Amino acid sequence: MLTAPRSWAGLTPAWMTAALAPHFPGAVVNDVAVADIADGTNSRARLRLRYQSGQGPESVFVKREGRVLNRLALSALGARESEARLFDSGVNLPLEHATPYAAGVDPWRLSTVVVMEDVALRSAHPNVATVALTVGQVQSGLRGLAHLHAAYWDRPLPEPIRFLRPWKLSSAWAPLSLASLARALRLLRVGGHARTLPPLASAATLERGFRHWATVAVSGPQTVLHGDPHPGNTFALPDDVTGFYDWQLVRTGNWSHDFGYFVAASLDMADRRAHEQNLLRFYLDELTQAGVPAPDFEGAWRLYRLTPAFGLGTWLHTLSGGGFQPIEECLATIERFAAAYSDHEMGS
């Protein structure tokens, strides 16, 4: 694994040549132009490359560590180096995703960097959390997630990715989580946004549901999860094929985490209500076709109905923390999760 540069300026032609060498032998970079920098949980940019010799991509997408608070939050979740280690493992992910080229870590500075394919070169465009996906796009994404889950379903992980663990929420974090959720609810009220949402439970009830789901997610057959499959972490290829990037929260856990999180975060309320049962049947059929003993529908439906508590809590924490995601994306995603929470968790 490479050493993570200290700044964007550290992504020199020599560093990029070394990063691309395993995939593009003989390519020697002689110019790197950093463009389109965006800051969120991490800092991201597109790098345009020119070559002294050999051939390589005209551009790549690069993620680096975000501000110190964000790095500390990811460290608390055990997720700061997860994506870099996944990319460095060389393990094949059997779903549509951006091809990883290289990863680097500087543990002393809590720094990471990952270099990956710029999917725009394949006529793809990034989806955004403020725009709901179509039912067809969600079905395509579920097909990919089913293939990922089936590949590692209830079996030992390959050695290169045995570092993956379930996301366990220590009780020591409960007071901080409660305060964060209370702050998020206050921000919604003060901003006038609470009027647009279904009635939300108290911070204490939300925190218990959030924590309970983390416990449920480590039960039953365990597999590799994307962990954070909301629309802003997906891209659209021609013909509505859905791909996934941003594997920062990759982990092991119950299949229903990815399924419920993706469906509730991605579909507008009317589409989710009309199609969620059929999408669950579709996902279970994909598991069966992949040779996995898929759960029965009734049991799977009961698990799915519990999932919005975690997604809602996650995005309320994101809103409370500030600086992790743009506020308009937080509000759009909270609205979808709040509706799913009202339809399922509070009504169950």
* 172: confidence class by pLDDT, cuts 50, 70, 90: confident
Length of the chain: 348
Q: What is the mean pLDDT of residues 244-260?
A: 95
Is the pTM for the entire model greater than 0.75?
A: yes
55-64, 122-131, 141-150, 212-221: segment of lowest average pLDDT: 212-221
* 71: confidence class by pLDDT, cuts 50, 70, 90: very low
177, 170 in Cβ contact below 8 A? no
User: Is residue 346 pLDDT above 80, yes or no?
Assistant: no
Q: Residue 138, class by beta-carbon neighbours within 10 Å (0-12 exposed, 13-18 middle, 19+ buried)?
A: buried
Whole-number pLDDT of residue 150: 98
> Where does 8-122 sit in CATH, by number?
3.30.200.20
Whole-number pLDDT of residue 75: 53
> What angle (nearest 5°) sits at the alpha carbon of residue 331, between those of residues 70 and 335?
125
Q: What is the mean pLDDT of residues 159-187?
A: 90
Do domains 8-122 and 125-345 share one topology? The answer is no
> Topology of domain 125-345, per CATH?
Aminoglycoside 3'-phosphotransferase; Chain: A, domain 2 (3.90.1200)
Residues 164 and 234: their CA atoms lie apart, in Å, by: 21
31-40, 165-174, 185-194, 267-276: segment of lowest average pLDDT: 165-174
Sole residue written with tokens 């949402």? 197
Residue 306 CA, chain-centre distance (Å), reads 19
Sole residue written with tokens 């094929």? 241
Residues 158 and 12: their CA atoms lie apart, in Å, by: 33
Q: What is the mean pLDDT of residues 285-294?
A: 97
Parallel, antiparallel, or unpaired for β 125-126 and 100-106?
Answer: unpaired
User: Is residue 215 pLDDT above 60, yes or no?
Assistant: yes
Residue spans per domain, the chain: 8-122, 125-345
Parallel, antiparallel, or unpaired for β 251-254 and 222-225?
Answer: antiparallel
User: Is residue 240 pLDDT above 60, yes or no?
Assistant: yes
Percent of the chain with pLDDT over 90: 74
Q: What is the mean pLDDT of residues 130-141?
A: 98
Whole-number pLDDT of residue 74: 54
Residues 286 and 280: their CA atoms lie apart, in Å, by: 10
Whole-number pLDDT of residue 348: 44
**Percent of residues in the chain assigned helix, strand, coil, to nearest 5:** 50, 20, 30
| Mean of per-residue pLDDT scores for the chain | 91
Q: What is the mean pLDDT of residues 18-41?
A: 91
Whole-number pLDDT of residue 244: 98
User: Is residue 347 pLDDT above 50, yes or no?
Assistant: no
Residues 301 and 225: their CA atoms lie apart, in Å, by: 19
Task: Extract the tokens encoding 270.
Answer: 């009317």
